[in-house]
Amino acid sequence: MSGIPPIDQSLLPAEVRNGTAKDKQTYAAALGFERALMGELTKAMADTAQPVEADDSSSDDSGDDTGSSTDAATSMYTQMLPDQLADGLEQSGGLGLAKTFYDSMKEQTQ
């Protein structure tokens, strides 16, 4: 993982935007945890989404053997989906869990 993708600063809570460097660092850690959690959730979701198999009885006899390249492409996109979905969610402000994590972390340091 190359780090947390950048998010719009206006999506940050005001106390973080206007806070100290330590507040921003704590919130970044909370975002990192939320991103990791979303990554695991989206991977579990993608694992349950199985591509629909082509029905052998409906195949035409054209001799065109494109099934293996389609399977490879589907597999590649299926592997990329969880991270892309989690990144998109995080860039849009996340699920809102980071603020709760941040508040808990800040409480522990006081």
Whether the per-residue pLDDT at 55 is higher than 70: the answer is: no
The answer to whether position 85 is within a domain reads yes
pTM for the structure as a whole: 0.66
Calpha distance 11→57 (Å, rounded)? 52
Of the segments 58-62, 90-94, 102-106, which one has the largest average pLDDT value?
102-106
The answer to whether position 21 is within a domain reads no
The answer to whether position 103 is within a domain reads yes
Q: Return the DSSP state at 54.
A: P
The answer to whether position 47 is within a domain reads no
Q: What is the pLDDT, as a whole number, of residue 104?
A: 92
Question: Which of 101 and 86 is assigned the larger pLDDT?
Answer: 101
Calpha distance 96→76 (Å, rounded)? 30
The answer to whether position 43 is within a domain reads no
* Paired tokens of 61: 């006899």
Segment 2-27 shows an average pLDDT of 79
The answer to whether position 5 is within a domain reads no
Range of the domain at 100: 67-110
Segment 12-25 shows an average pLDDT of 89
Number of domains in the chain: 1
Q: Crossing angle, helix 97-109 and helix 21-48, to 10 degrees? A: 140
Q: What is the pLDDT, as a whole number, of residue 94?
A: 80
